[in-house]
């Protein structure tokens, strides 16, 4: 398959990452089949895409007349059978291996044999996910950053089995979205989370050990290191449960105790203090 043959893209999962990925594909002119189990999640995703398009219009990044055509290219579906016509597919379901296994297996059985299947996993081995499918040579990692419509980076991760043709086509496709693809080999956490999560973890230890308040830790990193967000603000934005899950993957995959999740992070997650999405994490949100 070549880039010009990709007209329709399936996005599996309509959550935060899925709706963002659907947004950028539709905005780039692709027809998008957005699939989730429940119509409620699809309705919420379409509402989010609409609001994010309005933000782009206000910033002058999109003409107001284009909004309706972008939304018209989004087809929400609940049945996996509806993705059969897709020319490329991106899985964006929660970061749990059992969920990914179920979704990828079903998608693999539904898509045409030549179609590339990508995963937006933020830490799980692309090589292991590829092995769950009948198309390991056409399986690739496509790690978008949150919020997807805003962030330029996509880590494109080559599994041990990924063919050069599938990898190169995914790099080309990423550029067509207006994103910057960066080639990364398969390893726990890839580059982004292998570097970011220890930073967040150490910031949490600073709070737990009474070195400084969350506000002070974040101020040091913003004012002293020129970070646009402090690590604890960012952790709340990502979700503390997601941070802990990624740290577990790093710890298990690399076997190094430096990746053990800070007890304070685990305690917050146990309390249901997950960050912005639960209105409380290192900070309280209204």
User: Would you name the residues annotated as active-site residues?
Assistant: 122, 143, 155, 193
> What is the β-pairing status of strands 153-158 and 139-144?
antiparallel
Give the number of residues written for the chain: 286
Rg of the chain over Cα atoms, rounded to whole angstroms, equals 19
Is residue 178 left, alpha or beta, with left meaning phi > 0 and alpha meaning psi from -120 to 50? left
| Beta carbons of 23 and 51 less than 8 angstroms apart | no
| Beta carbons of 268 and 240 less than 8 angstroms apart | yes
**Phi first, then psi: what are they for 151, rounded to 5°?**
-80, 135
| Beta carbons of 202 and 247 less than 8 angstroms apart | no
Q: How far is it, in rounded angstroms, from Cα 73 to Cα 130?
A: 29
| Beta carbons of 208 and 263 less than 8 angstroms apart | yes
Assigned token pair, 46? 């379409």
């Amino acid at each position: 398959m070549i880039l010009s043959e990709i007209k329709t893209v399936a996005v599996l999962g309509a959550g935060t990452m899925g709706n963002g990925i659907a947004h950028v594909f539709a905005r780039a002119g692709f027809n998008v089949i957005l699939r989730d189990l429940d119509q409620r999640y699809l309705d919420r995703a379409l509402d989010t895409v609409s609001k994010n398009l309005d933000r782009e219009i206000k910033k002058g990044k999109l003409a107001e007349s284009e909004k309706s055509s972008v939304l018209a290219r989004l087809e929400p579906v609940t049945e996996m059978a509806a993705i059969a016509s897709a020319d490329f597919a991106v899985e964006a379901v929660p970061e749990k291996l059992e969920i990914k296994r179920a979704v990828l297996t079903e998608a693999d059985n539904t898509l045409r044999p030549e179609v590339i299947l990508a995963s937006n996993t933020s830490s799980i081995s692309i090589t292991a996910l590829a092995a769950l499918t009948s198309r390991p040579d056409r399986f690739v990692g496509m790690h978008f950053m949150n919020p997807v419509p805003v962030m330029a980076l996509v880590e494109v991760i080559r599994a041990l089995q990924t063919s050069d043709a599938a990898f190169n086509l995914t790099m080309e496709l990423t550029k067509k979205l207006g994103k910057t693809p960066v080639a990364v080999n398969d390893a726990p956490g890839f580059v982004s989370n292998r570097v970011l999560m220890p930073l967040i973890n150490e910031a949490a230890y600073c709070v737990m050990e009474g070195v400084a308040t969350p506000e002070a830790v974040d101020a040091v990193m913003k004012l002293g290191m020129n970070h646009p967000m402090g690590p604890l603000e960012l952790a709340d934005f990502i979700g503390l449960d997601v941070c802990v899950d990624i740290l577990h993957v790093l710890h298990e995959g690399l076997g190094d105790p430096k990746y053990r999740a800070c007890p304070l992070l685990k305690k917050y997650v146990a309390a249901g203090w997950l960050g912005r999405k639960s209105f409380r994490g290192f900070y309280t949100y209204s």
